[in-house]
């Protein structure tokens, strides 16, 4: 449970503004879509955009309005069943794998659902002081919606990028990455370090319980691996040589149609990729993206290095990039692509795979109730990522933020930072 907030009245006011900002941002993000784009689920990990719009609304309806607003009328009694994701405690759910079979409710109806719930939320928030528990639930609601906005970006990229017509999502200009310099190494000394969140701001349950971790001396790279560097790995037989791969990674390679990051396609003799701005030649100086953990790990082994643990990453970040740089690229910029920045790039642009399994911290305790399912129950078979991406809102990111995905997934905005023993 996060630190209690004392001045509940003022929170409420700030919160209303943030609530509006976050909710409106989703509408802006879906503006470039055609109605048809909202409906499909080309693979199980992708959810239909209209499902995201509705599910994030369901969260406020079921966890805030239903328990707190007397006589609240559900917008539609069938929606809780349709738009619950995995909260077992919150009741039955429509099968995840079949989200893409539902043509109704329509996008228009989903947008009406959003407005209905927003109206009730604003009315509710305006006339009421929040206690800590409610503040926590509402905060989670906002965090949750922002996480789904990022997932939406992964998903719409997948939907459009797997269509042979390769329609662009947005038409903003694409930045060119200049020449990259050789990697330099940032050192961290052998010592005990403090890990985990402290302070007043929000954090998730999985970051809580400040505790000590002992680290041996190590270095991390001062930048991410580029497309050009990754192509060298490919051209030197990276996908054909089992030595670089974990056993399950090697099996995974065997099943892939393309031996390359997701969205890379070789046309004639040129490597192209699908980006949210459309299908175009690969910028070789840009950080490589859409690699699975297996690929990141294999690349690191090929390069004679390794990936950092989540603890190494966190301490290196705290020591070498004291604050989030002003030019760090987050969702707030509404730029839909990584962009060169000053500094070492720990924050923004791309999530960075770590070698750490996603496990509980020593003092971890899942919150009670349905929200206890938020993080803890996924603590097996997943890998931690750090630092946020151009799809993450700046307010969500911290050095302690622990993102997690299965090691075979490529569709997220993921990148590679190397580490080594000093």
Q: Does residue number 265 form part of the binding site for its own copies (CB under 8 A)?
A: no
Residue 216, phi then psi, degrees to nearest 5: -75, 160
Structure tokens at 326: 């002003």
Of 30-38, 53-61, 282-290, 333-341: span binding its own copies (CB under 8 A) = 30-38
Residue 302 has what DSSP assignment? H
Q: What share of the chain is helix, strand, coil (3-state, %, to 5)?
A: 40, 15, 45
Say how far apart CA 40 and CA 19 lie, in whole Å: 28
For residues 122 and 370, which CB has a smaller minimum distance to its own copies in the complex?
370
Sign of CA dihedral 360, 361, 365, 371: negative
To the nearest whole angstrom, how small is the minimum distance from the Cβ of residue 131 to its own copies?
Answer: 25
Among 111, 134, 153, 159, binds its own copies (CB under 8 A): 159
Q: Does residue number 24 form part of the binding site for its own copies (CB under 8 A)?
A: no
3 state SS of 9 = helix
Q: Does residue number 407 form part of the binding site for its own copies (CB under 8 A)?
A: yes
Q: With contact defined as beta carbons under 8 Å apart, do 56 and 26 qualify?
A: yes
Q: Does residue number 416 form part of the binding site for its own copies (CB under 8 A)?
A: no
Q: Does residue number 133 form part of the binding site for its own copies (CB under 8 A)?
A: no
Among 116, 360, 394, 395, binds its own copies (CB under 8 A): 360
Among 112, 122, 125, 357, binds its own copies (CB under 8 A): 357
Q: With contact defined as beta carbons under 8 Å apart, do 287 and 413 qualify?
A: no
For residues 76 and 339, which CB has a smaller minimum distance to its own copies in the complex?
76
Q: Does residue number 35 form part of the binding site for its own copies (CB under 8 A)?
A: yes
Q: Does residue number 81 form part of the binding site for its own copies (CB under 8 A)?
A: yes
Q: Does residue number 363 form part of the binding site for its own copies (CB under 8 A)?
A: yes
Structure tokens at 303: 């390069």
The DSSP bridge partners found for residue 144 are: none
Q: With contact defined as beta carbons under 8 Å apart, do 261 and 292 qualify?
A: no
For residues 112 and 357, which CB has a smaller minimum distance to its own copies in the complex?
357
Of 60-68, 98-106, 113-121, 172-180: span binding its own copies (CB under 8 A) = 98-106
For residues 38 and 60, which CB has a smaller minimum distance to its own copies in the complex?
38
Q: Does residue number 216 form part of the binding site for its own copies (CB under 8 A)?
A: yes
Cα first-last separation, the chain: 37
Residue carrying the six token digits 């990039």: 321
The whole-angstrom distance between residue 169's C-alpha and the CA centroid of its chain comes to 19
Q: With contact defined as beta carbons under 8 Å apart, do 417 and 305 qualify?
A: no
CA-wise closest residue to 134 among 363, 371, 364, 373: 371
Among 44, 66, 67, 101, binds its own copies (CB under 8 A): 101
For residues 191 and 327, which CB has a smaller minimum distance to its own copies in the complex?
191
Among 18, 162, 318, 394, binds its own copies (CB under 8 A): 162
CA angle 61, 392, 11 (to 5 degrees): 50
Structure tokens at 232: 């060298």
Among 13, 189, 242, 280, binds its own copies (CB under 8 A): 242
CA-wise closest residue to 21 among 152, 173, 142: 142
For residues 68 and 170, which CB has a smaller minimum distance to its own copies in the complex?
170
Among 8, 18, 69, 94, binds its own copies (CB under 8 A): 94
Structure tokens at 396: 């969500």
Q: Does residue number 257 form part of the binding site for its own copies (CB under 8 A)?
A: no
Of 262-270, 273-281, 330-338, 370-378: span binding its own copies (CB under 8 A) = 370-378
Interface with its own copies (CB under 8 A): 34-42, 50, 78, 81-82, 86, 88-89, 94, 98, 100-107, 159-160, 162-165, 167, 192, 211-214, 216, 218, 242-243, 245-250, 293-294, 306, 355-357, 359-360, 362-363, 372-373, 377-381, 407, 421
């Amino acid at each position: 449970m996060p630190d209690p907030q004392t001045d509940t009245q003022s929170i409420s006011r700030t919160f209303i503004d943030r609530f509006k900002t976050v909710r409106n941002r989703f509408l802006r993000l879906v503006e470039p879509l055609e109605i048809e784009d909202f409906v499909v689920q080309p693979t199980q990990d992708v959810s239909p955009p209209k499902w995201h719009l509705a599910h994030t609304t369901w969260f406020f309806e079921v966890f805030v309005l239903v328990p707190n607003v007397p006589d609240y009328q559900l917008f539609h009694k069938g929606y809780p069943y349709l738009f619950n994701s995995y909260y077992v405690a919150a009741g039955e759910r429509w099968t995840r794998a079949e989200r893409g079979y539902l043509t109704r409710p329509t996008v228009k109806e989903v947008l009406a659902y959003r407005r209905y719930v927003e109206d009730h939320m604003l009315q509710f928030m305006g006339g009421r002081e929040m206690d800590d528990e409610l503040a926590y639930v509402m905060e989670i609601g906002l965090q949750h919606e922002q996480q789904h906005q990022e997932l939406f970006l992964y998903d719409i990229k997948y939907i459009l990028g797997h269509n042979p017509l390769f329609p662009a999502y947005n038409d903003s200009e694409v930045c060119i990455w200049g020449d990259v310099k050789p990697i330099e190494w940032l050192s961290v000394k052998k010592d005990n370090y403090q890990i985990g969140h402290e302070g007043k701001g929000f954090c998730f349950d999985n970051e809580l319980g400040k505790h000590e971790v002992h680290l041996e001396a190590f270095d991390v790279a001062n930048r991410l691996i580029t497309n050009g560097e990754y192509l060298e790995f490919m051209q030197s037989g990276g996908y054909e040589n089992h030595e670089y791969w974990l056993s399950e990674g090697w099996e995974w390679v065997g099943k892939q149609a393309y031996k390359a990051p997701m969205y890379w396609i070789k046309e004639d003799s040129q490597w192209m990729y699908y980006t949210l701005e459309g299908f175009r030649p690969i910028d070789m100086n840009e950080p490589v993206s859409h690699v699975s953990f297996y690929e990141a790990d294999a690349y690191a082994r090929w390069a004679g290095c390794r990936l950092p643990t989540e603890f190494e990453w966190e301490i290196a970040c705290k020591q070498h990039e004291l604050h989030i740089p002003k030019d760090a690229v987050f969702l707030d910029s509404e730029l839909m692509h990584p962009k060169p920045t000053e500094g070492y790039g720990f924050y923004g642009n791309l999530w960075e795979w770590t070698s750490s399994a996603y496990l509980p911290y020593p003092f971890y305790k899942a919150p009670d109730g349905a929200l206890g399912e938020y993080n803890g129950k996924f603590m097996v078979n997943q890998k931690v990522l750090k630092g946020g991406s151009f799809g993450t809102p700046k307010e969500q990111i911290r050095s302690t933020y622990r993102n997690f995905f299965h090691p075979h997934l490529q569709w997220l905005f993921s990148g590679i930072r190397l580490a080594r023993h000093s």
